[in-house]
Amino acid sequence: MKAVHFGAGNIGRGFIGNILHDNGFDTTFVDTNEQIIEQINKDKGYPVKLLDESQTKLWIDNVNAINSYNSKQVEKVLVECNLITTSVGAFNLKNIASILKEALLIRSSRKEPVDILANENIVNASELLKDEIKKICTNKEWESINKIAYFVNTAIDRQALSSSEESGRQVALVEPYYEWVIDKNALNPNSKYQLKNVKLVNEMKPFIERKLFIVNAEHAAFAYLGALLGLETIQETIQQSNCRILVERFMKQNKHYFLAKYDMKETELDQFITNTINRHGNPAVSDDVHRVGRSPIRKLDRYDRLVAPVMELEDLGLDNDAGKRVIAVTYLYTNENDPEAKEMQQTIENNGIAETIRRVSKIPEPLVQEIATLYCNLKDNKENAFL
């Protein structure tokens, strides 16, 4: 069985590539990083290190890599594979739409169906990729593609970092825990493979929202609180009792959204929240707050990890004060090396905080004013975040 995976970064190599390998796939990575491409092809594999007590090292073989600029070669492997996966970042999905379109048109002429799983840190990433391909198709082309392309939504969860060995070889560092949730009803029912070590579910939305509203929201909250206090890592921030108390309150309030909307058990959600915080506090990991906090404009979007749960709780009439405080903290985030952080601060300087909240988060006016007030209080004294 053959798979093509777009994105040879830490998630691609350390998570998706690892699971594909364990499922017996020969995997071709498509990327633009020549160092990684050359390393994979030269070594005929790559190392993955688990961030456990033993620092367990895995070797992933039966892989190769090609540059995405080599469109003919990419098209060839896409036409011949059994499964297509991605981890390129949500905003890069549009950049692979064109080459996917051409390959899928060839497959459609041969009546060769394929599953496409976009594994990005947003809700319904495969639907987004589907829409990007559809945009550049004629009606006739899309009709042909739609008959053979199965766009399958997923939710992924695994911390993945990287390090460099003395030899210069890049090593993906991953925590032992992972979760790859896949919408089993969207898969091609006649696929020649059956994935193991994944979670196949009938309804994706609860798992996608649990990832976004708990895992991603908690991680981002610690990042922006750490930056506010001048701390360097997520692990250091979690050790601060005031930060942990605020984030735990944020998560416990978000929990009530799941209790109200889905058939989830409170004890299981409580354990999931505790496990999530403990995972991100793993002392074997040194996770920079600016790595996690990058792209704050995206993370403050109405439908992303910080604002979405606050809005859902607001609509349900449930407590959400902790989330509002975290949002206000995020609007204070500065990082000269992050284009979005610089843009956000420039917008605040030019237009004021209230107008910036309106533009970025697109929330109702009463919430705009409430968060703007919290922001101003924080500017006066950052300790106001923890009142």
Distance (Å, rounded) from C-alpha 219 to C-alpha 234? Answer: 8
CA 276/CA 255 separation, integer angstroms: 13
Containing domain of residue 59, as a range?
2-201
Residues 168, 230, single domain; the answer is no
pTM over 0.75: yes
Residues 224 and 175 in one domain: no
Same domain, 336 and 246: yes
> Domain ends where: 182, 201, 220?
201
Please check whether residues 186 and 231 belong to one and the same domain.
no
List, as one string, the DSSP characters of 226-292: HHHTT--BHHHHHTSHHHHHHHHHHHHHHHHHHHHHS---HHHHHHHHHHHHHHHT-TT---BHHHH
Please return the burial class of 197, using the count of CB atoms within 10 Å of its CB with bins 0-12, 13-18 and 19+: exposed
For residue 135, pLDDT over 90 is answered with yes
pLDDT at 358: 98
372 and 328 in one domain? Answer: yes
Do 268 and 251 lie in a common domain? Answer: yes
Looking at the fold, whether 209 and 197 belong to one and the same domain comes out as no
Give yes or no: residues 227 and 363 share one domain.
Answer: yes
- Which CATH number characterizes residue 161's domain? 3.40.50.720
Q: Does 225 lie in the same domain as 154?
A: no
- The pLDDT tens digits of the residues spanning 1-25 come to 999 999 999 999 999 999 999 999 9
Inform me whether the pLDDT recorded for 319 exceeds 70: yes
Domain boundary among 201, 219, 238: 201
Nearest alpha-carbon partner for 62 in 26, 31, 28: 26
Q: Please count the residues of the chain.
A: 387
Residue type at 276 in one-letter notation: T
Q: Note the pLDDT tens digit of each residue in 160-206.
A: 988 877 677 899 999 999 999 999 999 999 998 999 999 999 999 99
How far, in Å, are 120, 176, 253, 295 from residue 63 at the CA level? 21, 22, 44, 32
Stretch (H or E) spanning 90: none
Question: Does residue 196 sit in the same domain as residue 309?
Answer: no
Could you tell me the CA-to-CA distances from 231 to 4, 224, 228, 240 in Å, in that order? Answer: 39, 10, 8, 10
* Triad 171, 160, 59: Cα angle to 5°: 40
Q: Average pLDDT of 103-109?
A: 98
Rg of the chain on CA atoms, in Å? 22
Q: What is the mean pLDDT of the chain?
A: 96
pLDDT digits (tens, 9 = 90+) for 363-373: 999 999 999 99
Mean pLDDT of 137-141: 98
Count how many domains the chain has.
2
Mean pLDDT along residues 288-299: 97
Q: Does residue 151 sit in the same domain as residue 215?
A: no
Helix and strand numbers, DSSP H then E, in the chain: 19, 13
**What is the separation, in whole angstroms, between the first and last Cα of the chain?**
56
Measured CA to CA in angstroms, residue 70 lies from 76, 97, 99, 168 at distances of: 10, 15, 10, 25
Identify the residue with better confidence: 185 or 263: 185
What's the whole-number mean pLDDT along residues 26-34? 97
330-346: pLDDT as tens digits: 999 999 999 999 999 99
pLDDT score of 166: 63
Residue 245 pLDDT level (bands cut at 50, 70, 90): very high
Please give the Cα distance from 68 to 208 (Å, whole number). 29
Question: What CATH code is carried by the domain that includes residue 226?
Answer: 1.10.1040.10
Please say which residue of 201, 230, 258 terminates a domain. Answer: 201
Residues 195 and 335 grouped into a single domain: no
